[in-house]
Amino acid sequence: MLTIVMPMTMVTAGCTKVARCVSTQTDLLSTRSWRIGSITKTSKKPSVSKLVEKAATDLQRLVRLKAADAVGFCECVSCGARNHFTKMDGGHFFSRTHLRFKLYEENIHPQCKRCNMMMSDAKVHERYRCYMIDMYGEKRVLAMHRLLNWSKPKFKRDAVLELRKDIKRQIKELEERYE
């Protein structure tokens, strides 16, 4: 048996006559097998860290959508610049290098690309800090600071899948506003 990573669309688009998905799974993230001629190929389950990356990307889209107005515009929390949510970043108050804050919604808000790239600049960071305190209160922000000292979280596959499913559901609902 060979092991490959291959999205179903690649198989069905190119090899409709010789390849068919033989899995009964409906979740794209599950292990799948394809039969091509007499060879069965099985795709690997993505690693938990890859799932976390995907969920983090989705979460960044969700926070921008939540902040967007009726025409899809939102404001940078650091400088106030307005732009369409698709052209903004989901900026992290505590860097996403801290794994704990990668999937922590309160840590992510719309930022223009310039401010997001300049979070090491004291002024840009301070403006984000002021936004955090206005939004959540000083006690809450200090509590988040304390979490930096905790050990790295270990994400469980099922929990990340469930979280991503919920994030995608919310994205779908919010995007319907612009259809």
**Secondary structure letter of residue 32 according to DSSP:** -
| Whether 44 contacts 3, CB under 8 Å | yes
Whether the CB-CB separation of 85 and 109 falls below 8 Å is answered with no
User: How wide is the angle at C-alpha 30 spanned by C-alphas 29 and 36, nearest 5°?
Assistant: 105
Q: Which stretch binds Zn ion (CB under 5 A): 40-48, 104-112, 129-137, 152-160?
A: 104-112
Q: Does 11 bind Zn ion (CB under 5 A)?
A: no
What binding mask, one character per residue, do residues 79-98 give for Zn ion by CB under 5 A, x or -?
Answer: x-x-----------------
Q: Specify the residue, 81 or 133, whose C-beta has the smaller distance to Zn ion.
A: 81
112 binds Zn ion (CB under 5 A): yes
78, burial (CB in 10 Å: exposed 0-12, middle 13-18, buried 19+): buried
- Residues in binding contact with Zn ion, number by CB under 5 A: 6
**Residue 76 in contact with Zn ion, rule: CB under 5 A:** yes
Binding residues for Zn ion, rule: CB under 5 A, are 76, 78-79, 81, 112, 115
